[in-house]
A = this chain, B = another copy of it.
């Protein structure tokens, strides 16, 4: 069910200016706090966290506190339909793992992360800082999250100034 997009630009002379304005906004201007759990956290506890924090996705950290996975409301819903004992199975069993996670940085343009969110059909991205580990591997510290709600709020604020 793809959206039917029927609009054309109603004010063509404006397009370039709008483009420039939108490109001034960065992830750090709109991001929210990240909601994180450890990978040993049970699926049940992850679901409880999701409701308590009222968020759509949870980021899963490894023992050192770096980003290792992500679980969405959709992943959790799928799991509750299956046979797994959600009180015992850790969230790491069902999470999407690095390096298959789409991330953002505080300095990314809002336009670019909006593109990532729409194209990859996800609700939010972890905002990360990259570090190089002792074995030259990349490690990601989670510093926030950027969601479709953050983007909607920006549009609203631009319109309601």
Contact = CB atoms under 8 A, between A and B. Distances in A.
Nearest to A121: B54
Interface string A134-157: 000000000000011111111111
Interface residues of A, number: 66
A88 interface: no
Interface string A1-12: 111111101110
What does DSSP make chain A's interface, helix, strand, loop or mixed? Answer: helix
Interface stretch (A59-67, A75-83, A89-97): A75-83
A118 to B, nearest CB: 5
A3 B151 CA distance: 11
A5 B22 contact: no
The 10 closest A-B pairs by CB, nearest first: A7-B29, A80-B80, A148-B148, A3-B32, A15-B161, A22-B159, A111-B159, A10-B24, A1-B33, A77-B77
